[in-house]
Chains A and B, each alone.
Chain A
Amino acid sequence: MTMTLEGAAKPPRSNTAFASILAALPRIIFAVYMALFFLYLFLPLVVMGLATFNASKFPTVTPWLGTTLDWFAALWADQAMWKALRLSIFIGLGVIAISLPIGTAAALFLNSLQDRSRSFFYALMVSPLLTPGVAIGIATLVLWRQAGVGGGTLLIVLAQASFITAYVMLMVAARLQRFDRTLEDAAIGLGASRLMVFRRILLPYLKPSLLAATFIAFLQSFENYNTTLFVRGTETPLTVYIATKVRTGLTPAVNALGLVLIALTVIAAVAFELSRRSSQRTAKP
């Protein structure tokens, strides 16, 4: 890499060992960086996972009080956890029911607009993503209090949907941007109605992005804490349940829950990726 002509012609012999170390230095630094990066990324998870199998009442790996699977049984028997899980799933489905159609509509709306009004609406639509989650929760809470509706499942769904819709919109809009509008003309020219063009041409084209958006919307809802915290009323979805456990008595059963969730999401992600690849293979654009 060095450009010095004299240096290249006559390398100082005595310094070769030192020079080779010096040359390897960036590699060494980089290797250390990579190791630290992944250590940082996985150490907490590994510790959390291992703690599940420790007989200690408080989740930790030090000291190791004996290996056990009891905490999975404790998790299985935890009725409050099941209730929280059911609620989270219900909320996730509710968010999908609102965000998927509206987010798709928003993407279609944006796609049909002209330049100037488009950037205005675009800014308005992505603004919930740049708003702190607590502010979204609070704004929803105070609005609905005026209508006499207090915190609870309905408000959780509405508050979450208000920003998750933006994710759906972005995902659908990204695919829509690559859509060839002459396909619509072609279908119309062959006698199709507007509705048929939508159902037979546009919707099948958007299908992959709609599936991905459904997945992401559910995950975002399922994971949400900040917004939910303010609009939950007396309801306890899963994230809130886990957070309150820290105060009411943390046991490795929560770690077991974490392990199960990781396993489930990894399986879902792999399945999703595989189905995406296979559908890509059968229908290359």
Chain B
Amino acid sequence: MHSLVKRFGPGLGSLILLGVAVWLVGMVLAPNLMMLDFSLRPNLTPAQIGGPDDHYTLVNFSALFADPVHRAIFFKTIWASALVMLTTLVVTYPMAFWLAKVATHRAVAWVTVALIIPFWINEVLRTLAWYILLAFNGPLNVVLVGLGILDTPMRWFGDAGVLAGMVYAYILFMLFPVYNSISTLDSAQIEAARNLGASTIQIHRRIVIPHAKAGIATGCVFTFMLAAGSYVAPALLGAPGSRWFTEVIYNWFFEGGNWNRGAAYALVLLTLCMVVVMATLRIFKVNLADVAK
């Protein structure tokens, strides 16, 4: 604080402090603490507030794990998000490596533009594109049946549709961190390993991936968080059997009318994401400062 005032003078220094305080206290900490408070209270009618029933309780949390449907959806959301994360990593890794170590500067520039274009439009439209493509009478089924690959049209909506749509939506969040970290690897290391007789797989396993672990961790953290918190893809591309945890939360707020329970569910989702972030960073031995770049 002292150095801030010393550097910017008292006027500008206190303005900076004020701005940071408004953001961190008013827009980050206070809302989350209020959500915590909300989640620990029962859902009361206005008349009951301040009455004998108005006390802290864990009922909103226990309800999540007592309800078999919600519990199943919660755990399904976890593993499905993990699957999205892994699939995205597998799909993007070769591209990231190619961009970082093989492609020419021109190719990198062009491919980067090509990669970014789909992401200038919002997630809803991107998902809508998949909605159109995967429709029962849609182009994908028509082409696959026409080519004789399928006998009858497939119902793509459901788990497959959600996976395709989510991987699509979050590709860049994986690709760019991985690309960035691979591109800092000295190419001579790859050549040295090859010169010492390492196979392609050995080179990736022993040289490239260990070097790129910060980028991989970053990509994984973001992809998991975005997938677990996604609402559009499951809503549009899902089926009744592939409900997502965010949809349950939404229902508590706008259909079930129990905000306290909704807040508790949202808090569980938030905690889950934080745990995954911390665990991933710990496993990959990566520092938070390397993640947000």
A residues engaging B (CB < 8 A)?
Answer: 1, 3, 26, 30, 33-34, 37-38, 40-45, 47-48, 51, 59-62, 101-102, 105-106, 108-109, 112-114, 119, 121-136, 138-143, 145-146, 158, 161-162, 165-166, 170, 174, 184, 193-195, 198, 219, 222-226, 229-230, 239, 242-243, 246, 250, 254-255, 257-258, 261-262, 265-266, 269
Q: List 14 A-B contacts (CB under 8 A).
A: A44-B129, A44-B168, A106-B23, A109-B4, A109-B20, A119-B288, A128-B28, A131-B273, A134-B250, A222-B122, A255-B132, A257-B125, A258-B129, A266-B120
A residues near B98, Cβ cutoff 8 Å: 30, 34
Q: How far is the CB of B184 from chain A (nearest CB, A)?
A: 15
Partner of A138, one of B118, B131, B253: B253
Residues on the B chain within 8 Å of A33, using CB: 94
Residue of A nearest to B30 (CB): A143
6 other A-B residue contacts (CB within 8 Å) besides A34-B98, A262-B117: A42-B114, A44-B168, A122-B288, A122-B289, A130-B274, A254-B128
What residues on A are CB-neighbors of B23 within 8 Å?
Answer: 102, 106, 162, 165
* A195 vs B71: C-alpha distance when bound (angstroms): 57
CB-based contact A30/B35 at 8 Å: no
Q: How many residues of B contact A (CB 8 A)?
A: 85
Inter-chain residue pair count (beta carbon < 8 A): 231
* CB pair B200 A165 closer than 8 Å: no
Docked-complex contact A47 and B132, CB < 8 angstroms: yes
Q: Is the CB of B263 within 8 A of A198?
A: no
A198 to B8, CA, bound (A): 7
B35–A194 touching, CB < 8 Å: no
In the complex, the answer to whether A130 meets B273 with C-beta atoms within 8 Å is yes
Q: Shortest distance in angstroms between A55's beta carbon and chain B's nearest beta carbon?
A: 15
B124 lies within 8 A of A170 (CB): no
Decide: B225 and A139 in contact? CB cutoff 8 A: no
Asked if B55 is at the interface (CB within 8 A of a chain A CB), the reply is no
* A126 and B288 in contact, given A106-B23, A139-B32, A161-B27 (Cβ under 8 angstroms): yes
- Complex: A258 Cα to B200 Cα, angstroms: 42
List chain A residues, Cβ under 8 A from B128: 48, 242, 246, 250, 254, 258
Kindly provide the distance from the CB of B93 to the nearest chain A CB, expressed in whole angstroms: 10
Q: Which residues does chain A contribute within 8 Å of B7, judged by CB atoms?
A: 112, 184, 194
Chain A, interface SS category: helix
Residue contact A41 to B114, C-beta cutoff 8 Å: yes
B contact set with A: CB distance below 8 Å: 3-4, 7-9, 11-12, 15-17, 19-20, 22-24, 27-28, 30-32, 34-35, 38, 91, 94-95, 98, 114-118, 120-126, 128-133, 135, 137-139, 142, 168, 171, 194, 197, 200, 221-222, 225-226, 228-232, 235-236, 246, 249-250, 253, 259, 262-263, 266-267, 269-270, 273-274, 277, 288-289, 291-293
Cα of A1 to Cα of B34 in the assembled complex, Å? 62
Are the CB atoms of B117 and A266 closer together than 8 Å? yes
Report the separation of the CA atoms of residues A128 and B31 in the bound assembly, to the nearest whole angstrom.
11
Residues of A within 8 A of B277 (CB): 130
Minimum C-beta distance from A173 to chain B (A) = 10
* Chain B proximity of A197: nearest CB distance (Å): 8
Q: With a CB–CB cut-off of 8 A, which chain B residues contact A129? A: 292
Contacts of B274 in A (CB 8 A): 130
Contacts of A45 in B (CB 8 A): 117-118, 129
Of A106, A126, A142, which contacts B263 at CB under 8 A? A142
Q: Which of B4, B12, B28, B30 meets A127, CB within 8 Å? A: B28
* A239-B232 Cα distance, complex, nearest whole Å: 10
How far does the alpha carbon of A170 sit from the alpha carbon of B8 in the complex, in Å? Answer: 20
Q: State how many angstroms separate the Cβ of B215 from the closest Cβ of chain A.
A: 16
Is there contact, CB below 8 Å, between B19 and A246?
Answer: no
Which chain B residue shows the least CB distance to A162?
B27
Knowing A195-B9, A239-B122 touch, does A26 contact B200 (C-beta < 8 A)?
Answer: yes
What separation, in Å, do the CA atoms of A43 and B222 have in the docked complex?
25
